[in-house]
């Protein structure tokens, strides 16, 4: 949820929190094209005022879901509930939803001001009101002094801000952004991420943001909906997905994960390199194959002969605030360890042990 300092004190004296409002509910929504399934039936509730990211590899159904939400595409099955009302059959232009795509073309023959005023003119607002709203929207995206320019006189990032202002100007209650920042260079992308977060906080609009970039999703989102092959793989806060990935796919897609494949044999998880201890509760049954997943920052390097696994340093990379050490196990599996740069570089070829706290390791089925 958006942090609202003014409301905190009030909330804390209420007897119990009001259940969170649901802005949009995709109820068994699905889409097939002939025999191809673009989106399997999904169940998704988007909360009022949240910034929810649809994250997933190319072809996982993110754009299809956005198109279904905004009404550009009709579902094969399922219902779309917005503000408690069924809008499955509502025409796109009557849905009070704004859309900003990566290549959302501006009108080349109109100035910035005219581009942003366009949706208001379509809605036949008065001249003074249009002027005030356009000024507000341009101020919001930091383009107040660019009113009279034409799109061709703007950089790519500035054009996107105009597209964003053109959407913000009529204050839709939901804004959809599809790979909006994917074509921008890193620096511009990061500054736009901060800008979108600021606008989101300021307007309280519900935003559904699509990206295939996990870092962007972690940095931007109140919640992330991870998609895979037209299905929802996991939904939760960035911390949920990073700290508690629900599957091997989730663990591999978000952040760097070390994966050790093996099989449960009695009280141990047996990999080609070692028999490792199992936690008291483990989703794998005796005899079942799966993977132990552990983040690089949860591993510590022990002296040779110590720890739970033995390996040899094959790479030691200085990365500013940290060092990344690659350790190759006897089976050939390589494991990545991240440690503070202050600990220094380890000589290549040194024999080391690997250790971790039992709770840092997660076990998943194949
Ligand atoms: P994403 O946005 O995550 O990359 P899409 O929603 O665009 O994924 O596509 C999901 C799947 O649906 C893909 O396999 C894609 O080829 C298929 N698909 C999307 N649109 C169409 C269409 N108009 N006709 C046929 N297949 C489509
Ligand atoms: Mg897409």
CA distance 198 to 353: 45
Does 104 score more than 80 pLDDT?
no
Under DSSP, is residue 286 helix (H, G, I), strand (E, B) or coil?
A: coil
Secondary structure (3-state) at 12: helix
Give the chain's mean pLDDT. Answer: 91
Q: What is the pLDDT of residue 10?
A: 41
Nearest CA to ligand 1 atom 15: 59
Q: Which of 63, 64, 67, 208 to mutate to test the pocket of ligand 1 (most atoms within 8 A of CB)?
A: 64
Pull the structure tokens for residue 97: 């939803």
Please give, one letter per residue, the 3-state secondary structure of 93-149: HHCCEEEEECCCCCCCCCCHHHHHHHHHHHCCCCHHHHHHHHHHHHHHCCCHHHCCC
**Ligand minimally distant from the alpha carbon of residue 30:** 1
Residue 198 corresponds to which tokens in the numbers above?
A: 């600021």
Q: Is the pLDDT of residue 14 over 60?
A: no
Read off the pLDDT band of 183 (50, 70, 90).
confident
Nearest to 325 by CA among 340, 314, 311, 310: 314
Q: Tell me the pLDDT band of 182, cut-offs 50, 70 and 90.
A: confident
* pLDDT at position 13: 42
pLDDT of residue 344: 77
Structure tokens at 305: 């002969």
User: Which ligand places an atom closest to the C-alpha of 55?
Assistant: 1
Q: Which residues of 154-193 are buried (b: 16+ CB within 10 A; e: fewer)?
A: beebbbbbbbbbbbbbbebbbbbbbbbbeebeeebbeebb
Atom of ligand 1 nearest to the CA of 54: 3
Q: What is the pLDDT of residues 205-259, one digit of tens each?
A: 999 999 999 999 999 999 999 999 999 999 999 999 999 999 999 999 998 899 9
Distances (CA, A) of 238 to 54, 101, 164, 234, 297: 12, 23, 25, 11, 17
Share of the chain above pLDDT 70, in %: 94
| pLDDT value, residue 3 | 42
Other CB atoms closer than 10 Å to residue 43's CB: what's the count?
A: 12
Is pLDDT of 7 > 70? no
Q: Does the pTM exceed 0.95?
A: no
Burial group, residue 40, by CB count within 10 angstroms (0-12, 13-18, 19+):
middle
Q: How far does the centroid of ligand 1 lie from the alpha carbon of residue 68, in Å?
A: 12
The predicted pLDDT at position 296 comes to 95
Which helix (H) or strand (E) segment holds residue 59: the answer is: none
Q: Does pLDDT of 281 surpass 90?
A: no
Pocket of ligand 1 (CB under 6 A): 33, 36, 38, 56, 58-64
pLDDT tens-digit map of 301-349: 999 999 999 999 999 998 888 999 999 999 999 999 999 988 878 899 9
Å from CA of 32 to ligand 1 middle: 9
Residue 15 is predicted with a pLDDT of: 43
How many CB atoms are located within 10 Å of the residue 65 CB? Answer: 30
pLDDT tens by residue, 29-44: 999 999 999 999 999 9
Protein residue whose Cα sits closest to atom 24 of ligand 1: 33
Confidence of residue 20 (pLDDT cuts 50, 70, 90): low
**Radius of gyration (C-alpha) of the chain in whole angstroms:** 25
What CA–CA distances, in Å, run from 64 to 38, 58, 229, 260, 296? 7, 11, 12, 34, 34
Sheet strand arrangement including 322-329: 300-303, 351-355, 309-319, 322-329, 334-340
- Residue 227 DSSP symbol: E
């Amino acid at each position: 949820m958006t942090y609202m300092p003014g409301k905190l004190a009030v909330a804390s004296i209420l007897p119990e929190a009001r259940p969170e409002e649901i802005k949009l509910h995709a109820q068994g929504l699905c889409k097939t094209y002939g025999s191809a399934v673009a989106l399997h039936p999904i169940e998704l509730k988007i909360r009022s005022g949240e910034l929810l990211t649809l994250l997933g590899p190319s072809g996982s159904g993110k754009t299809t879901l956005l198109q279904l939400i905004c009404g550009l595409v009709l579902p094969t099955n399922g219902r779309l509930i917005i503000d408690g009302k069924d809008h499955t059959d509502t025409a796109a232009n009557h849905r009070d939803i704004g859309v900003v795509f990566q290549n959302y073309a501006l009108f080349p023959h109109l100035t910035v001001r005219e581009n942003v005023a366009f949706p208001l003119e379509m809605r036949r607002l008065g001249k003074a009101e249009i002027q005030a709203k356009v000024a507000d929207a341009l101020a919001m995206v930091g383009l107040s002094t660019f009113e009279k320019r034409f799109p061709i006189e703007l950089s790519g990032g500035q054009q996107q801000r105009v597209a964003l202002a053109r959407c913000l100007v009529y204050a839709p209650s939901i804004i959809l952004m599809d790979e909006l920042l994917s074509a921008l260079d890193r620096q511009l992308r990061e500054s736009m991420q901060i800008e979108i977060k600021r606008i989101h906080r300021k307007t309280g609009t519900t935003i559904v943001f699509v990206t295939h970039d996990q870092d962007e999703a972690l940095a931007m989102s109140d919640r992330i909906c991870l998609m895979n092959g037209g299905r929802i793989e996991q939904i939760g806060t960035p911390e949920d997905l990073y700290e508690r990935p629900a599957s091997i796919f989730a663990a591999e897609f978000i952040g760097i994960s070390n994966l050790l494949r093996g099989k449960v044999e009695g009280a141990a998880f047996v990999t080609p390199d070692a028999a490792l201890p199992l936690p008291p509760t483990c989703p794998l049954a005796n005899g079942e194959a799966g993977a132990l997943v552990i983040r690089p920052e949860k591993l510590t390097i022990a002296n040779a002969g110590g720890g739970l696994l033995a390996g040899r340093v094959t790479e030691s990379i200085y990365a500013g605030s940290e060092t990344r050490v690659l350790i190759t196990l006897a089976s050939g599996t390589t494991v990545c360890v991240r440690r503070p740069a202050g600990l220094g570089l380890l000589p290549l070829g040194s024999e080391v042990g690997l250790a971790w706290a039992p709770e840092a390791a997660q076990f998943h089925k194949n």
